[in-house]
Amino acid sequence: MKKIIKVKCTGTGGHINEIDLEDVLGQDVILYGSPIVTGRQIPARIVRHCEVCDEGKVVLTREMIEDSL
Ligand SMILES: [Zn+2]
């Protein structure tokens, strides 16, 4: 089971990007159904390029990550 967060890109298209938390945080950080056990800080924000367009960015904040866990 994966943890996916859907985030709209900032481009005009507003494309929905599915961000895999394991992909951005690392597998060791996520324990399903539990708060994050960290040896590692969650970054305040993660910015990725939109998978669909060139102009858009996908911004994932720590709050969004924590809300999804
Ligand atoms: Zn886009």
β-bridge partners, 49:
57
Q: How far is the CA of 45 from the centre of ligand 1 (A)?
A: 18
Q: How far is the CA of 39 from the centre of ligand 1 (A)?
A: 33
Q: How far is the CA of 6 from the centre of ligand 1 (A)?
A: 13
**Domain, as residue range, for 37:** 4-68
Which residues have CB atoms below 5 A from the ion given as ligand 1? Answer: 9, 11, 13, 15, 50, 52-53, 56
When divided into structural domains, the chain yields a total of: 1
Q: Which pTM does this prediction carry?
A: 0.74
**Per-residue pLDDT at 38 exceeds 80:** no
Percent of the chain that is helix, strand, coil (3-state, to 5): 20, 30, 50
pLDDT score for 40: 62
The overall average pLDDT reported for the chain is 82
Average pLDDT (12-36) is: 76
Kindly give, in sequence order, each residue whose CB lies less than 8 Å from that of residue 67, ignoring residues fewer than 6 positions away: none
